[in-house]
Chain A
């Protein structure tokens, strides 16, 4: 009995404050969590909306798409359908990721309604070298422009070539071949498997 008493004597403050702090955190979380989730959705919509200008809103699919990742567990991708005011499908957008030069790169990729040509990509987060690799993040820069209108199929990276020509050859950023390759690899990992899966579900032809 005295041991129990000793325990409480020593630790009552810890117990009381744990409960107090726990309550405080629960309250803050309850108050701000909806806003945090809203922020994330808005960020995705902003990036995807810039690429699919006709899209009015983005709707989730009934079931997320699973694609092979080369690891035991497949990646789960939340593919969203961009619809215009009349409810017509104008494009698809999804979040994808892969390793870049110095950290993970997260991209939002947009594809047109028939899933035949890319509508471009936007960078959600990356930590590439300033002045070199971070050129992948410049919206409307020469690197990002090469993807707008490129075929939704396997892409190749070349070190020199015609950057203005829109085809399946992507010209690397000079001095940042690894970052450029990372973006191309991420797209190649995701685009074709998602296309196949959507075909299988009969959502596209």
Chain B
């Protein structure tokens, strides 16, 4: 029961309180770049959730079964990025072959994900927070993906409406998006300290 409660708290923490996009500035590029339409944003979010779950779990396993027992911590970053790049490639091939419909909807985002800092960032944070059981690492990975989807969808919703607003010339495009994002982080700051 205690374990369940811990996992639930960890999950809520990473989705809302320590949201990677809004408090750790990870995954800002897609957040500002593609979130113009809400359905695209959701597709991107799903793809990221999928890959981050895989990458988070795999890197935790590699870190704890290979790198730490043999004192190979120096290779950590190289291993992590190779695992992520490999996972993205595998997922892309697999999805294209077996789920063509799914590939149509979010496959185009997959190659972009290798350089999405949210994924490598999460793997590094799992290491930094010294998460020592696999279950918690998996829960955190899923939560990070869902948190990213949440942030990117909220942003897309706001931007759809922003297109109708009369924004002063120099502020159009990225500047107004950044300011909106700033206000959004203020709202999310209200959740801090909940856990």
Q: Name the interface size band of chain B.
A: 10 to 19
Q: A102: CB under 8 A from chain B?
A: yes
Q: In chain A, residues 81-132, which have Cβ atoms closer than 8 Å to a Cβ of chain B?
A: 99, 101-104, 129
Judge whether A72 and B74 touch: CB under 8 Å. Answer: no
Instruction: Please give me the residue from chain A that is nearest to B2 by CB atom.
Output: A70
Cross-chain contact A104 with B2 (CB below 8 angstroms): no
Contact A104:B129 (CB < 8 A) given known A25-B75, A26-B74: yes
Which of A25, A103, A178 lies at the interface centre, i.e. has the most chain B CB atoms within 10 A of its CB? A103
Chain A interfacial residues counted at CB < 8 A: 18
B99-155 interface with A by 8 A CB criterion: 129, 132-133
Which of A33, A71, A73 gathers the greatest number of chain B CB atoms within 10 Å?
A71
Q: Is the CB of B193 within 8 A of A102?
A: yes
Chain B, residue nearest A103 (CB):
B18
Secondary structure call for the A interface = mixed
**Is the CB–CB distance between B74 and A102 below 8 Å?**
no
Contacts of B133 in A (CB 8 A): 72-73
Closest to A73 in B: B132
Point out the residues of chain B lying under 8 angstroms from A102, CB to CB.
17-18, 23, 192-193
A21-B78, A102-B23, A102-B192 in contact; A72/B3 too (CB < 8 A)?
A: yes
Known: A72-B133, A73-B132, A178-B193; 14 extra A-B contacts, CB below 8 A, are A25-B75, A26-B74, A28-B74, A29-B74, A70-B2, A71-B6, A72-B3, A73-B133, A101-B192, A101-B193, A102-B17, A102-B23, A102-B193, A104-B129
